[in-house]
Chains A and B, each alone.
Chain A
């Protein structure tokens, strides 16, 4: 029983991390058809900015998280304005440009802070454990869950209550028609990049908490599972991403524990392939 609880909490924590990456990825792809290979890099930027602020910057943990998130947001906006926007009429080149950034940024982080993992500052209040149904669960799992839930609620409010949220939802369905109603959809592009960057950077900051350290490839290794989540949840659907994140996180943890290690990762990836083949359009309607 306690093993199941621990695995559930760890799986949910991992799922929360996936959600923070995948929610932005999903909105960006849904609205712009850009498969952002640099999204993992944004996570790494957030993680390193938080780590730097918490250690060399001398900030407190929460302030460091805010700082890291802000840095990631700025990086995402710059990415959209400088690299994505000029390639607006060349969708494949947009993807290629993000591939380049996804290669360059982790390498730059490695150049500055080295290839080895850096221990992440853990505030005392978050480094302990709590007993839950007889299991001893690290507190940071719950921090991740709370952060992901907060982001989910905020995103849903943004999408349902604001005009830009309306524009984003409509743009996911039919971008051209949004412009044909007199709306400059490019502003929404920058906005979803900012939102996606903020969520990914927050995920980066909190991934340091989850893994206890940061390393340059952190974001990239999470990215592929975030892709899985995005496709399974339906591109452009934040709620779908949330559900898929939980499913992927749990499947991975349980399968890795109860079968051979690595089989969980494998099963998730195979699950994606099967899903795509069974419902090539049904998942998203916009895959082709």
Chain B
């Protein structure tokens, strides 16, 4: 094992824990024990997602107060509800990024598939009298079918045309839900989930922890699906499509089918999110279907970092948390005492989020996930002068 130390510390250097690793190599003989320890720390740090997951799993048993972050103690129903909502939106953003960050598709209609899962599940229980599990499967099935149908249609156009068609379809869905056809969707009011159709363990404030675990499970599922598909051969083709669709065509592949797969997977994940959201909030409301809901997902993804593993999750959690906390902040006395010039903008969560969004786009391309790398790059100032690569003479249509 000791012979491996130099390689492992090199590995850790690549992962940003470089300082101890480099010191080891400078003093190879005397630094033996330091190396061992740093390797152990590094090993432990590599498992941080698992550690975090365990922390999240046991959070309902904790009474830890987190003043500023949460109103009540960690395990209180109110806190769990907010955290669960954050996790659901983090997962939704992660699924949405399968389109935006992984395949390069700017869809303005993702909320439609979320809302489909939400409403179809709710209505299957209310109107078809299906038990919850069957209704959930029905809801997700509806989302997948709709994504397959509308995706196969809207992916026939590319670029901003695709964005426009997805926006149009989603808007049609949003109008449909709001107009309350046949009294089914409940119009502006929405429809509350039927308590009698839900399992007892998922109803009532004392069971918030169960809902929280379901939200956590949904997040893990989404992360796993995204990670698995992105690292699959299909995922590499998505990457190619994102970078240069023409080049994928040159390789003799049809991007259409691959994009459709991404669209359907993302739609199915959003539908599953709708099911979890239904449980969490106890009903379906038309806000879920609006274009604002899609724009919110877009903001989350861009805020956190599009095309990264943890960025969309981070963005979704932060956005949701901030949306709730900023609402509280807006009503707090600290804001009320400010002069109007400051008080008015600060009391509007959407203004702050919109402004933050612009700032992120403008000042922080790549989102929060790229921030550590940017700071490191700024600190080390290592000018990586681009060495001209091998002779790629692939000139699309030039000369």
* A interface list, Cβ under 8 A from B: 29, 33, 35, 83, 86-87, 90, 92-93, 95-97, 99-108, 110-112, 224, 227-228, 231, 260-263, 265-266, 269-270, 272-273, 276-277, 280, 287-288
Contacts and interface: CB of A to CB of B under 8 A. Distances in A.
B351 A260 contact: no
B354 A273 contact: no
B158 A111 contact: no
A112 B344 contact: yes
B179 interface: yes
Given A92-B106, A227-B167, A102 B347 contact: no
Interface in B329-356: 344-345, 347-351, 353-356
Given A227-B164, A227-B167, A277-B165, A266 B159 contact: no
B298 A99 contact: yes
Nearest to A106: B350
Most chain A beta-carbon neighbours within 10 Å: one of B156, B179, B348, B349: B348
Contacts of A111: 344-345, 347-348, 351
B175 A269 contact: yes
Contacts of B208: none
B179 A269 contact: no
A89 to B, nearest CB: 11
A33 B160 contact: yes
A29 B164 CA distance: 13
Given A103-B357, A270-B172, 9 more contacts: A35-B163, A93-B365, A100-B358, A103-B353, A228-B168, A265-B175, A266-B175, A266-B176, A272-B164
Contact of B345 (A102, A108, A269): A108
Query: Is the contact region of chain A dominated by helix, strand, or loop, or is it mixed?
Result: helix
A93 B344 contact: no
A96 B361 contact: yes
B153 A107 contact: no
A39 B57 CA distance: 45
Most chain B beta-carbon neighbours within 10 Å: one of A86, A97, A265, A269: A269
Contacts of A105: 354
Contacts of A29: 160
Given A262-B175, A280-B156, A287-B158, A102 B168 contact: no
Given A100-B299, A231-B164, A273 B176 contact: no
Contacts of B356: 100
Query: Is the contact region of chain B dominated by helix, strand, or loop, or is it mixed?
Result: helix
Given A110-B348, A288-B158, A102 B354 contact: yes
Nearest to B349: A107
Contact of B171 (A93, A224, A263): A224
A43 B358 CA distance: 20
Contacts, number: 132
A104 B355 contact: yes
B178 interface: yes
26 contacts: A93-B361, A95-B106, A99-B299, A100-B357, A100-B358, A101-B358, A102-B295, A103-B354, A107-B349, A112-B344, A224-B167, A262-B175, A262-B176, A262-B178, A262-B179, A266-B176, A269-B171, A270-B172, A273-B153, A276-B157, A277-B154, A277-B156, A277-B157, A287-B158, A287-B160, A288-B159
B175 A260 contact: no
Q: What 8 A-B pairs have minimum CB-CB distances, sorted nearest first?
A: A104-B354, A103-B354, A262-B179, A107-B350, A100-B357, A100-B358, A107-B351, A287-B161
Contacts of A228: 168
Interface of B: 106, 153-154, 156-161, 163-165, 167-169, 171-172, 175-176, 178-179, 181, 291, 295, 298-299, 302, 344-345, 347-351, 353-358, 361-362, 365
Contact of A100 (B176, B347, B354): B354
A3 B171 CA distance: 29
Contacts of A96: 298, 302, 357, 361
Contact of B361 (A35, A87, A102): A87
Nearest to B357: A100
Contacts of A276: 157, 161, 164-165, 168
B351 A288 contact: no
B179 A260 contact: yes
Contact of A90 (B179, B358, B365): B365
Contacts of A263: 179
B358 A269 contact: no
Contacts of B299: 99-100, 103
Contacts of B156: 277, 280
A282 B101 CA distance: 29
Contacts of A224: 167, 171, 291
B305 to A, nearest CB: 13
Given A276-B164, A277-B156, A99 B169 contact: no
A104 B167 CA distance: 20
Contact of A273 (B165, B295, B345, B361): B165
Given A108-B351, A276-B157, A277-B153, A87 B362 contact: yes
Most chain A beta-carbon neighbours within 10 Å: one of B163, B171, B291, B344: B171
A277 B348 CA distance: 39
B170 to A, nearest CB: 9
Contacts of B181: 260
B348 A108 contact: yes
Nearest to A223: B291
Contact of A104 (B165, B358, B361): B358
Nearest to B340: A112
Contacts of B161: 231, 276, 280, 287-288
Contacts of A102: 295, 354
Contacts of A99: 295, 298-299, 357
Contacts of B295: 99, 102-103
Contacts of A262: 175-176, 178-179
A86 B350 contact: no
Given A33-B160, A277-B157, A287-B157, A107 B361 contact: no
B355 A100 contact: yes
Most chain A beta-carbon neighbours within 10 Å: one of B156, B295, B298, B351: B351
